[in-house]
Amino acid sequence: MIYINKLFFNSMGIMSLLPLSILYIISKILFFITYYIIKYRRDIIINNLEKSFPKKNKKEIKKMSKKYYQNFCDILMEIVKMISISKTTLEKRFQYENIEMIEKYIKKNQTIILCLGHYANWEWGLLSISNKTTANILGVYKEIKNKYINDKILEIRSKFGAKLSNMRNCLKIIQQEKEKANIICLITDQSPKTPENKYWGVFLNQETSIMTGVEKISKKYNYPVIFANINQVKKGYYKVIFQEISNKPKETNKFEITKKHTQQLEKQILTNPTFWLWSHKRWKHKKKK
């Protein structure tokens, strides 16, 4: 199996050397295969869209799902490009409208929590922020069972200096790094493993279990929370607008921060739904009555 994994990543490495214009042509082929032939997670995507947009008819849902597959395949090719992408190229393609919102904290040696969802090209986001600030970047990730693939992905994500931690060890590392100015990057839209102990709220028209890690960490250390709103300007080009969720977390009410960053993510998704990760089993948990 390890030889197959190595062959796969070596192939991806060679592919990443191709211009993005060529990778987007490959994306169109991949779209045809995933949408028309394999029908990758078609039922999950349709079900998620129907429940999130109950007022849309079947024709509209089908159109949204098709556009989602197209965007998804483009982003997959952009992720492949991460293997060889240079700092200069990334800086041209991933820009920031108000980076000063983060810099004002870093200048004060203040750690912040940067939260975001699986929207647009979130992978370029982690790589880009590592190249944009003098602060230490700590990205928290969910481990992949295949160790070889997991290690290779971590290698790519950290190529510009980000430090990565799995969910099990992140609190320990945050404690160790608390005297430094860090940007802690947390994905907030994953489905919790133990929904009974999490916050339940309405997200995209559905009762949803929501992870409270951002709130717990921010309140414990009084770290300001900022939401990263990533938008595609045009194919292969992105802009980030930072939105402050809380600058005094310890003074907030219970679940206030969780509600606010969830609302920001929902607002972002509703601006252009087809850039969110609809193939994810986001609503696999149901609240116990």
Per-residue b/e over 87-117, b at no fewer than 16 CB within 10 Å? eeebeebbebeeeebbeebbeeebbbbbbbb
Q: Using a pLDDT cut of 90, give the percent of the chain over it.
A: 78
Provide mean pLDDT across the span 254-258.
Answer: 97
CB 80 within 8 A of CB 15: yes
pLDDT band at 196; cut points 50, 70, 90: low
Provide mean pLDDT across the span 31-49.
Answer: 97
Rg (CA), the chain: 19
What pLDDT does residue 23 have? 98
Provide mean pLDDT across the span 236-263.
Answer: 97
pLDDT band at 199; cut points 50, 70, 90: very high
Q: Collect all residues with Cβ–Cβ distance below 8 Å to 50 and sequence separation of at least 6.
A: 56, 61
> Would you report the helix, strand and coil content of the chain in percent, each value rounded to 5?
50, 20, 30
> Which residue is associated with the tokens 């200096």?
161
Both structure tokens of 268: 């972002």
Residue-by-residue DSSP string for 62-93: HHHHHHHHHHHHHHHHHHHHTTT--HHHHHHH
What pLDDT does residue 2 have? 73
pLDDT band at 9; cut points 50, 70, 90: confident
| For residue 145, pLDDT beyond 90 | no
What pLDDT does residue 278 have? 98
Provide mean pLDDT across the span 137-144.
Answer: 88
- Model confidence pLDDT, tens digit, residues 209-220: 999 999 999 999
| For residue 1, pLDDT beyond 80 | no
Provide mean pLDDT across the span 160-183.
Answer: 88
Q: How many angstroms from the chain centroid is the CA of residue 26? A: 23
What pLDDT does residue 214 have? 95
| For residue 87, pLDDT beyond 70 | yes
pLDDT band at 197; cut points 50, 70, 90: low
Provide mean pLDDT across the span 43-59.
Answer: 97
Question: Chain-wide mean pLDDT for the chain?
Answer: 93
Give residue 39's region: left, alpha or beta (phi > 0; psi -120 to 50): left
- Tell me the CA distances in angstroms from 243 to 116, 125, 188, 221, 273, one per residue in order: 11, 15, 15, 20, 19
Least confident window among 31-45, 85-99, 133-147: 133-147
| For residue 154, pLDDT beyond 70 | yes
Provide mean pLDDT across the span 261-277.
Answer: 97
pTM, two decimals, is 0.93
| For residue 285, pLDDT beyond 90 | no
CB 143 within 8 A of CB 166: yes
